Amino acid sequence: MFEPILAGVTLGLVLAMLVGPIFFMLLNTSLKKGFKPAAYLAFGVMLSDGIYITIAYFGSTYISLIQTQKIWIGLGGGLLMIGFGIANLFKKPTISADALELPDDSKTLWIDTGKGFMMNMLNPFVLLFWMGVAGTLAAKEHFSNTNTILFFMATLGTIFSTDLLKAWLATRLKKIIRPQFLLWLNRLSGIGIILFGCKMLFNIFS
């Protein structure tokens, strides 16, 4: 039971280092509106991730494929994760900390939740990434449905917790956001995703 939780926390910490529009939207929301709206935005992101994970792993079509093509799906999922890691490794930051101007147009905190939900939901690479993760998990014989649920819960919980931490530290983070800093953050997250993908592939064939 400890293995899937540890693996989920590890992946969550790696994903927490990813730099993209949501990262900057989270910081700007916290700086301009306060911590609470940023927390609702982070909750919206987590909710959309949860929906994509459900689609990726528990979709009926995907489950039928898993049952007959476990090794190939696991191999494809691991390679997809490595591909994402390589892409992130060479990705150059193109967004500055002041790039996203967010008017204070939220009438309720749930609008901030909707913004986070839609921004993440409309990114097609999010579903592809979770499909890659789901594929590698499906090929692990000793990973039961309970272990899988624990893994994804630990991953989402870690991502949400680190997003809350980013929102809380928004003022300090804004001061250190420079192109070189973002470049190295991208490289670290890319290396982490590559290593995670390699580990998942090793587990499939070991």
Structural domains of the chain, count:
1
CA distance to 75, 94, 143, per residue, from 177 (Å) = 36, 12, 39
| pLDDT < 70 regions, the chain | 59-74, 77, 88, 91-107, 138-143, 177, 179, 203-206
pLDDT for 47: 95
The SS3 of residue 141 is coil
pLDDT for 73: 62
Longest CA span, the chain: 53
pLDDT for 90: 74
Cα Rg, the chain, nearest whole Å: 17
To the question of pTM greater than 0.85 for the whole model, the response is: no
CB 35 within 8 Å of CB 169: no
pLDDT for 49: 93
Domain containing 27: what range?
2-205
If you write DSSP's letter for every residue of 63-98 in order, what string do you get? HHHHHH-HHHHHHHHHHHHHHHHHHHHSPPP---TT
- The pLDDT tens digits for 108-139 are 777 888 888 988 887 777 888 888 788 777 66
pLDDT for 57: 77
CB 160 within 8 Å of CB 43: yes
The SS3 of residue 151 is helix
pLDDT for 40: 93
C-alpha 125/C-alpha 107 separation (Å) is 30
pLDDT for 48: 93
Residue 118: phi, psi to the nearest 5?
-70, -40
